[in-house]
Amino acid sequence: MSDFHYQNGQLMAEQSSLTEIAKAAGTPTYVYSKKSLEQNYLAYRDALDIDSNTNHLVCFSVKANSNIGVLSVLAKLGSGFDIVSAGELERVLLAGGDPAKIVFSGIAKSTSEIQRALEVGVHCFNVESVTELDRIAEVSSNMGCTAPISIRVNPDVDAKTHPYISTGLKENKFGIDIEQALQVYQYASTLNSLRIVGIDCHIGSQLTTLTPFNDSLTRLLRLVDQLEKIGISLQHIDVGGGLGVCYQNEQPPSPQEYVASLIEAMKGRTQSLIMEPGRSIAANAGVLITRVDTIKENPHKRFAIIDAAMNDMIRPALYDAWLNILPVVQAPQGPLKNYDVVGPVCETGDFMGKDRELAIAEGDLLCVCSAGAYGFVMSSNYNSRVRASEIIVDGDKFHFVRDRETMEDLVRGERTID
């Protein structure tokens, strides 16, 4: 959050005042720092550039933040992209992303999605089932082309993270069991409309130690060697994403430490390295600005009711995620008091933070930190609330990269009946 800082008592995004942004955009509004996005991406790319012996591709995970403005910042740096739907594919193309740097993940790609990806020439499909393998083979055969594929392997590694964002255990729906993967590769090699190019693995999100990454890569490399022995040579190894960030007191490895461990494990190998970071690039590059509407007390609790809600930022309700909440203006408002910071949606689970010590008054602006990943992208119109605007800050200037929805947007496509 270094590009979000206080200056003369005002919380700034780079050199832009969040107070002034709120005046221009209203609240709630998502604000992203262009500088932070760039630095967080370059931390991976530059660390990989140190090892000239390993070709590499850093693919930003679009599901973390799919705003076209955000994607365009990364595309200009030459970033690749990890997508999971046709909608994300079109967003990357609109943002100027290179289709040859796109890996298409996701567990249930439709025929139309496969067709579109083949038309634009994606780098490869990360395949998660035999059914999907057959579907891609059929589509590519009908189109008279060859589809590049990589098998997503489930290594049965415990990522030690929230169960909702763990993806590498046998009981998870993702990937092909590592014990069955060799057989699936052999089957794929018999399908003439497929070209086997790699192997993929993604074990979960918000990992704060290197151990699960190292365990899964060790198992992956063992399989790569087994494939080589039966004549299936791979061009790349995709280690997925999942590196955590600091929301509260976590101390995850840096991208440089993570990359160094990967390079060490890959020594002597000819395959290129692909990775799919998302949260670690976007999370701390964004915040959510909201305003205190009402302060309410009962004999047991004090509530700060804000104009942002679970439809704007669902992570606290969904994962019990902890997000730091700061006043936008450090003005003396009296002693600190304990608040549950909650939204106006009709759900008890509608909260941004509980038991927060704040000195605030009605009308004050608050900043919900670390909101750049899995924030707006997971928002909804629950309670018929319009979705927030999004802004990218570039130094002392800021740019609207999504307008706030209107009531017309909210009911577009709906109609009454006679």
N-to-C CA span, the chain = 54
Query: In angstroms, rounded to a whole number, what is the distance separating the alpha carbons of residues 97 and 81?
Result: 8
- Mapped onto helix, strand or coil, the DSSP state of residue 306 is strand
Ordered mean pLDDT values, 10 residues apiece, the chain (418 residues): 87 97 98 98 94 87 98 98 98 98 95 98 96 97 98 76 42 74 96 97 84 88 95 96 88 92 91 95 98 95 97 94 96 85 95 96 97 98 98 98 97 95
| Token representation of residue 282 | 């976007």
Instruction: Give the integer Cα–Cα distance in Å for 21 and 12.
Output: 10
- CA nearest neighbour of 366 among 298, 300, 312, 299: 312
Q: Say if residues 301 and 340 touch (Cβ distance below 8 Å).
A: yes
DSSP string, 235-291: SEEE----B---SSS--PPPHHHHHHHHHHHTTT---EEEE---HHHHGGGEEEEEE
pLDDT of residue 76: 98
What's the CATH code, domain 34-279? 3.20.20.10
**Residue 54 pLDDT:** 77
pLDDT of residue 1: 55
CATH number, domain 4-32+283-411, options 2.40.37.10, 3.90.1150.10, 3.80.10.10, 2.40.50.180: 2.40.37.10
Q: Which helix (H) or strand (E) holds 47?
A: helix 34-49
- In terms of Cβ atoms closer than 10 Å to its own Cβ (0-12, 13-18, 19+), residue 52 is exposed
Question: Residue 285 is which amino acid?
Answer: A
Alpha-carbon distances of 215 from 61, 211, 294, rounded to whole Å: 22, 6, 49
Strand 365-368 with 286-297, pairing: antiparallel
Spatial distance between the Cα atoms of 176 and 103, rounded to a whole number of angstroms: 17
Distance CA 164, CA 315 (A): 11
Q: Are strands 80-83 and 56-61 parallel, antiparallel or unpaired?
A: parallel
User: Three-class SS of residue 91?
Assistant: helix
CB 162 within 8 A of CB 202: no
Residues designated as active site: 346
Q: What is the pLDDT of residue 333?
A: 63
User: What integer pLDDT is reported at residue 335 of this predicted model?
Assistant: 86
Looking at residue 165, its pLDDT comes to 39
Residue limits of CATH 3.20.20.10 in the chain? 34-279
Q: How far apart are the C-alpha atoms of 249 and 215, rounded to whole Å? A: 25
> The tokens 């932070």 sit on which residue?
36
Determine the Cα–Cα distance for residues 291 and 94; give it in Å rounded to an integer: 33
Strands laid side by side in the 16-17 sheet: 4-7, 10-13, 16-17
User: How many angstroms separate the CA atoms of 220 and 201, rounded?
Assistant: 8
pTM over 0.85: yes
Give span(s): CATH 2.40.37.10, the chain: 4-32+283-411
pLDDT value, residue 399:
98
Contact 28, 388 (CB under 8 A): yes
Residue 332: Cβ within 10 Å count:
7
**Residue 337 contacts residue 364 (beta carbons within 8 Å):** no
Cβ-in-10-Å burial (0-12, 13-18, 19+) of 243 comes to buried
> For residue 129, which phi and psi values (nearest 5 degrees)?
-160, 160
State the pLDDT at residue 207: 86
